[in-house]
Each structure stands twice: as C-alpha cells, then as structure tokens.
Amino acid sequence: MENTFEESVYREISYRESDVVDNVIKAEDVKLIGVAKIDVEEDVHDGVKIILKKDVNDNLKEIKFVCSCGETKSVLLDYSDE
C-alpha cells in the first residue's frame, strides 16, 4: 500500500438537527463539533481506498473502505468507557 499521510487538520461539522430543504444547508444551522486528520491509502492492485480518520491526538476514529465500484464500508471506533 502507498502511504500518503499529510498532517492536515479538518474541521468537522454537524447539520443533522437542521431542516434541509432542496439540498441547501444554511450557515446558521451548522455546528462545529471538532477537528479530524484524514489519511488516504490506496491499494493499487485491488482498487480499494482506505480512508483513516483520526482526532487531533492521533486516536483512530474511523476506518472507511472505498471500492473502485463505489461500494463503501466503515468501521467506527469508540474509546469511551461506557
């Protein structure tokens, strides 16, 4: 696998609680919920992209597998004690 990890930090937003009309999200309905680092790895033999989503402390939060056919599977990791 080719590793092209860059230390880019992205803001995570949530708009799930707002009323979305005609695929338009209003700025006042968007809430900043945190930040994340994104890493994309691509396996050139099988056509599968692996997207790793980490928090700012480098804790892995999500692993997403994206096939070249368009199918996507995700694994969400929860580190809480509950």
Predicted confidence (pLDDT) per residue in 25-61, tens digit: 777 878 888 888 888 777 666 788 888 888 878 888 8
pTM: 0.59
Domain count, the chain: 1
Counting every residue written for the chain, the total comes to: 82
Residue 81 lies in a domain: no
pLDDT at 82: 62
Residues 6+ apart with CB under 8 A from 22: none
Quote the domain boundaries for residue 37: 2-76
82 occurs within a structural domain: no
